[in-house]
Structure 1
Amino acid sequence: MTPIVAVKIQNQDTVPVARLEGEIDILNASEIGIQLFGAAPNTAPGLVVDLSRTTYLDSRGVQMLVELAERMRRRQQRLRVVVPERSVVRRVLQLSHLDASVPLDHTVEEAVTHLRKEQ
């Protein structure tokens, strides 16, 4: 059984930040994607997804992030993902080449700053 993923959404300088804690896999990725897309109102410059406390991410989780980024682009918004430099999750995102289309940041503050500059 997949552990429950905690999703906490807060605004930081008018930018919604979603912090995910736990495992993201085929059993919960779709539901998480819907929740994340709904967290960014049309007036926001984009969404920051903080995976610093995510312990596992499978291919369905990566696909969810790709789909989320595309949906946000259609709304003229940007997605930025926060992952620690040496985390397993960052390595998964790099191996899947997500970092070629979605910027990876080291901190939430860095991601929020970039989104505000892109407005």
Structure 2
Amino acid sequence: MSEQSLPRDAHPEYADTLPEYAERVLDVAERIPPGRVMTYGDVAEWLEEGGPRQVGRVMALYGSPVPWWRVVRADGVLLPGHELEALNRYRAEGTPLKEASRAAEGHLPRLDMRRARWDGDDRAEGHT
């Protein structure tokens, strides 16, 4: 995966306070098409820097102005504390889900990672 940068003013709400790595993570989150997701590890791999924990930390601290629900855990479990908001967004965007079994805690679905995962290639989505 290779990096494609957005303008440095893409996140004006943070002005000069946003660390460069955080800005790059948020830029990737903004590129993920509706109905698709990337894992924390996918984002780090795409940037060729950091790892899942670093990406997760950036999303926790700075992710609210971007489509945070599109950067997810690799197991497809919805973000604790934000499950219902994320689920509403996934359903609105048509993100593939796996319905929860009756035994699943909270009966919440998981993301269908096989179908929802995006590899960062705009061409695969019909973009140029």
Relative to total residues, which structure has the larger helix share, 1 or 2?
2
Do Structure 1 and Structure 2 share a fold, with TM-score over 0.5? no
Please report the TM-score for the alignment, with normalisation by the length of structure 1.
0.32
State the structure with more CA Rg. 2
